[in-house]
Chains A and B, each alone.
Chain A
C-alpha cells in the first residue's frame, strides 16, 4: 500500500504531445480512475506509471520516492492488462506464482498466498488448468489473482473489463469494488466507460487530449464540472450545452444564443457589466422539467422532435428554434412529436461557463 504522486508528467512522440503536464495525487488506499475517450492518453499515463513507457519530463513518486529511472520490475506494482496477458504455457497456479518466484518468495509463502487469493476470487478449482481452458471471466479473475498475490504497493488496471460481455462486466465491476474495499489497497484504473468510472472510483481524473481536465470525486465531477468538456463527458444522455453570451438586462441578466433567450437571476459574484460572449449554459437532461416548478426557474418554448420511452424513464428530444435540447422525464407523459412543449429550467440546476471555466452563478 502506498500513495502515488505525478508531478508535471509530459510525454511527446515527436511533435505530438501525448501527455501534457499532468499532476495528480493518488492517496493511500484510493481507487482512482483515469477516464477519457480513446486516444486521450489515459493508457499511456498508466503505462508510464508502470514504467513500460518513459515520460519526456516530470516525476513519478511512489511513497514519496522518485521511481523515474526504475524499470517496471523494481517499482513494486502489479498490472492487470486489457487482454489479461496470462502466460499461455503455465497453469493458473504457475501464472500466479510467477511474479513471486521471480522475487524469490519462499515456496510455503507462495502456496499460502495463492490459496488465499484463489479463495477470495473463487478460482480454487481452476488452479491446475491452463489459460486456454478458461472463460473470459475466469481469465479476468486469474489476472487479478496474479496481481493480488504479489501484494504490491500499487495496482494498475488497463481497461480490464472491456473484453467481457455486458452482463459479466457489471458482475465483475461489483466484485472489483468489493475487492478494493476488502483489501484497502491503492488502485489506478483506466477506463473509457463512465458507468465504471462513476461506480468504481472514489476519485476520477478526466483526461482530454493529453490534459487533465478535472480530478475530483465522481459526485463533484458530475454536479460541479469545471469546464464544458467535463460537463458534456459525463452523464447519459449528456448535459445540454448552449453556446452564446450573457449580458445584463433590467434588474437581471439574460443568456442569448442564435435561437434562444433565457432570463437569468443576477450572478452571485461581481462581474463586469458588459456582454460576455464566450459563454456556455448547461443543464442536465434530468434537471429540465416539463411541468411548472415551485423554485425560481426560466422557461423555454420548444417543439417535440422524438420521444423515446425506455420503460423506466423517457428521453425527449426537443428543439427551440435550431437549438436542440434533451430532457429526461418520467415515462407515460402526454408528449407527442411535433407538438409544442414549454419546459422549465430551475436556476439552481444551471451550469454557467465563462471563457471555458465554471462560475458559480447562483
Chain B
C-alpha cells in the first residue's frame, strides 16, 4: 500500500488548501484587534470572543441570520413544492417533448444573472416586491428550480415503473401514487435537492444586494458585506460573522451527508 502514499498526500494537500481560507477566518475571528494588525501575523489566536460579541450585538448579525433563514427556507420549500410534481411528471409520465423541457430547464439555469438582473428589478418594482422577502425568493426559486427538478427527476427515473403501475392498479391516481409511493422512495433525492437549494439561497449575494436595500430585510451575505464602513475595514467582525454564517451549512451537510452522497451519485451505478 506504499504506492498509495503520494495519492494520500495529494488529497491531504487539496483538502488543506481548500480549507485554508476558512481556517484563517476562524483564527482571525478569535484574535484581538491588536493581534490582527500584528506583522508578521500571529498563528495562534488568544481566543478572544470580542469580535463575536460586536458582530452579534453591535452589527445585529442575528437579524440578518433570521432574514436568511426565512429567505433560504422559503426558497427551498417553494422550489420543492413546485419542483417535485414537475420532476415526477417529467420523469414518469409520458409527456410530449419531455427531453426539450428538460433541456430548456438546463438552459434557464445557465442564464447569466447579470442579463436578467435589470428586468427582474423592473418587474419587482412594479409589483411591489422590492425590499420584501418574497421579492427576493421569486428569482431564487426561478434559478434553483431547474437544479431541483433535474436532481429529483433523475431520482424518480431510477424508481421501477412497475411500482407506480402497481399503485395505479391498487387504486391510486397519479397524484396519490406520487404522494404515497414515489415520494417516500425518493427521500434521498429530496434531501439532496433541499440542501443544494438551501445552500444556494443562503449564499446568494447579487440579487439580494439588488433587491434588498433596507437593512431590516437584508440577508447575511449582504449584511456582512455592508459591515465595511467608508474608511474602516472591520476584519475581526467580518471573520466572526463569516464563521457564524457558514456554521449552519456545515452542520446541515454533516447531518445529512449520507443522504447527499447517495443523492449526488444517483444513476451513477444501478442500485
Query: Which residues of A come within 8 Å of B, CB atoms?
Result: 50-52, 71-73, 77-79, 81-83, 85-89, 98-99, 102-103, 146, 150
Residues of A contacting B: mostly? loop
Contacting pair A103 B165 (CB below 8 A): no
Q: Is B230 an interface residue (CB 8 A)?
A: no
4 new A-B contacts, CB < 8 A, other than A85-B163, A98-B180, are A50-B165, A79-B166, A87-B167, A88-B185
Contacting pair A85 B172 (CB below 8 A): no
Chain B 162-192 per-residue mask, 1 if CB under 8 angstroms from chain A, else 0: 1101111111110010001100110000000
Question: In the complex, what residues of B have CB within 8 A of residue A52's CB?
Answer: 165, 168-169
Q: Is B112 an interface residue (CB 8 A)?
A: no
Contacting pair B162 A83 (CB below 8 A): yes
A87 to B172, CA, bound (A): 13
A131–chain B nearest beta-carbon distance, Å: 11
Contacting pair B165 A73 (CB below 8 A): no
Contacting pair A98 B162 (CB below 8 A): no
Contacting pair B173 A99 (CB below 8 A): no
Residues of B contacting A: mostly? helix
Question: In the complex, what residues of A have CB within 8 A of residue B170's CB?
Answer: 73, 98-99, 102, 146, 150
- Chain B contact residue count (CB 8 A cutoff): 17
Contacting pair A77 B169 (CB below 8 A): yes
Contacting pair A89 B171 (CB below 8 A): no
Question: In the complex, what residues of B have CB within 8 A of residue A83's CB?
Answer: 160, 162
A84–chain B nearest beta-carbon distance, Å: 8
Contacting pair B171 A73 (CB below 8 A): yes
Of the A-B pairs whose beta carbons lie under 8 Å apart in the complex, a sample of 21, sorted by A's number, is A52-B165, A52-B168, A71-B168, A72-B169, A73-B168, A73-B170, A73-B171, A73-B173, A78-B169, A79-B169, A81-B162, A85-B160, A85-B163, A85-B165, A85-B166, A86-B166, A87-B163, A87-B167, A89-B184, A102-B171, A102-B176
Chain B 126-148 per-residue mask, 1 if CB under 8 angstroms from chain A, else 0: 00000000000000000000000
A98 to B168, CA, bound (A): 11
